A and B are shown apart, each in its own frame.
Chain A
């Protein structure tokens, strides 16, 4: 296998992983743990929040020890599989895109119809009007940002307070924007006018790396609580405890690519008047490197740190993932400029082996919870380079049955409501949650039912 072929495959694999990871990114925010989803998707030390705060690893396990998602949405999906054949009369590209943004692991209870319908274009010498009809809904109202950082399939082992783990890390970010004029023309069917520029811009970045991590999570301070004889769980014993965690990581960069492009058209005195009536412009600058290909692999470092404090059954956690995470690459930089006179792009290689350091954005999770008796009230704020999400919820147990309610503000700053219930049978519990979400290209509200098993 030639280096070029290998590099291409590596870059393709990185891209594939990136696409796959989109659904699991913070922007995607599909929570499959019904217990957690019922509480608004809030992150806690005892509901699978270990990946958001490395200090949670040192906290004794709570009553729940694990969660097994039940992908009940696959049944619904199997009964109505969309066609992936573009030539099929029922093919709907938006249905496929929504499928990628919201994999059918949960049961869809309701939501908007898939965008469809005809597109009408009216052209006259000095008039152009585009009516996307039903499809107008998918034209973004404002700048559209997607992506996030995903740590996939990490495998590791603990040795007392120390641990090692490795797994792929994928960072994807894309920002797409339309000029107000183009947005109005497409979204509101406003006629195009003369002497006006209709532009769009896109800024995309994707990088994939393998993360090799070694760290420590330990109890730094401990004062026994009044209920210490009943339970050693600091969440409920009333103990005062501080847990700290830190884990540096070595990042072996597999592939990196970014592209920044702007383009548009500027109408003349008459929309279709003469040879100079429309001027096109487009310029894009790309930077890339890939293992086995241009630039080869990258190398970098980073870290995860966290702390969690317990006091009087109150939990306060702070986790920072990918603190200082950077990867150094040797990149190729190219520029593509559209030449309006030749109706072609001119490609210029601006640099080869140019050193470039990419950054993995920090994800900060601040969580708080209070447990009193059979009730838990919790909230968190998760901040990354794309958005700040807020989750809040409560759980109350009545015998073997739990009821839950919550809400969250998603990556698109849209508030969603959640609720659910669970029943425990000895060491296993069945949980159901109903939640709204806007994980679709139109950002329209939809409702889903999630189910999972909890291991106690």
Chain B
């Protein structure tokens, strides 16, 4: 497990610095930076035509960012910015990009309902960018203030309309969590 957990209790002490009250601690975490380069760019396929529900797990990462903050802060809001690029080479597909946040003691992050479910449409020799921002998600706030959480990214393809095997490269370009807290002490 990464040592982020040990550093952030120190950062929690900074909550005293704004003077409390209506001042906020705004924590911006670049989750993407914690993924290995091999997890940021993932080739998919070839997936034969006529397949439904072909899952590609892009990333499954445990992060531990807010340990120590949970007792010290009230989370006002939590949001997540997502940006993914598909450089599709052959075939076509529809599908979905799903973001999962699960408790840290889960076997994997994919056992809970997805936090985001974004439609994806891919065409041959085409680049598609999917991006969204999840605002004010209680699930995200709850997950990120636990001692541990697991984040997963899964793409599910449907190639029933394709005439050629689906193949390409997926690149995660942005995965940023923004947590706004107030001190609860």
- Interface residue ranges, A against B (CB under 8 Å): 86-95, 114-128, 130, 132, 135, 138, 265, 271-278, 280, 343
Contacts and interface: CB of A to CB of B under 8 A. Distances in A.
A317 B10 CA distance: 51
Contacts of A119: 14-15, 17-18, 23-26
A126 B26 contact: no
A265 B10 contact: yes
Given A119-B24, A126-B33, A274-B3, A94 B19 contact: yes
Interface range on chain B (Cβ under 8 Å from partner): 20 to 34
Nearest to B183: A86
Nearest to B63: A272
Given A121-B28, A272-B3, 11 more contacts: A87-B184, A91-B19, A116-B19, A117-B18, A118-B18, A118-B25, A123-B30, A127-B30, A132-B17, A271-B7, A272-B34
B11 interface: yes
A266 to B, nearest CB: 11
8 A-B pairs with least C-beta separation: A124-B30, A124-B33, A125-B33, A92-B19, A91-B21, A118-B24, A120-B26, A272-B4
Contacts of B26: 118-121
Contact of B20 (A93, A123, A127, A132): A93
Contacts of A93: 16, 19-20
B19 A123 contact: no
Nearest to B26: A120
Contacts of B6: 278, 280, 343
A127 B26 CA distance: 16
B21 A130 contact: no
A127 B176 CA distance: 14
A119 B181 CA distance: 10
B65 interface: yes
A277 B10 CA distance: 15
A265 B16 CA distance: 19
A92 B3 contact: no
Given A121-B14, A135-B18, A265-B7, A116 B2 contact: no
5 contacts: A86-B20, A88-B21, A90-B22, A94-B19, A119-B14
Contacts of B17: 119, 132, 135, 138
Greatest chain A CB density within 10 A among B1, B14, B18, B183 is at B18
Greatest chain A CB density within 10 A among B3, B8, B19, B21 is at B19
B118 interface: no
B163 interface: no
Nearest to B4: A272
Contacts of B24: 118-119
A123 B10 CA distance: 13
B14 A130 contact: yes
B185 interface: yes
Interface in B101-157: none
Contacts of A274: 2-3
A116 B23 contact: yes
Contacts of A277: 2-3
A283 B86 CA distance: 52
Given A124-B33, A135-B17, A117 B2 contact: no
Contact of B21 (A90, A135, A278): A90
B169 interface: no
Nearest to B74: A87
A396 to B, nearest CB: 44
A126 B37 CA distance: 14
A274 B16 CA distance: 28
B34 to A, nearest CB: 5
B27 interface: yes
B34 A121 contact: no
A272 B18 CA distance: 25
A407 to B, nearest CB: 32
Contacts of A275: 1-3
Nearest to A343: B6
Contacts of A272: 2-4, 7, 34
A184 B49 CA distance: 58
A140 to B, nearest CB: 13
A122 B28 contact: yes
Contacts of A343: 6
A87 B73 CA distance: 11
B29 interface: yes
A129 to B, nearest CB: 9
Contacts of A127: 30, 33
Interface string B21-58: 11111111110011000000000000000000000000
Given A123-B29, A126-B33, A272-B34, A278 B19 contact: no
A373 B147 CA distance: 77
Contacts of B19: 91-95, 114-116, 135
Contacts of B20: 86, 91-93
Nearest to A120: B26
A121 B23 contact: no
A116 B18 contact: yes
Contacts of B185: 86
Contact of B27 (A88, A123, A126): A123
Contacts of A90: 21-22
A86 B2 CA distance: 33
B25 A92 contact: no
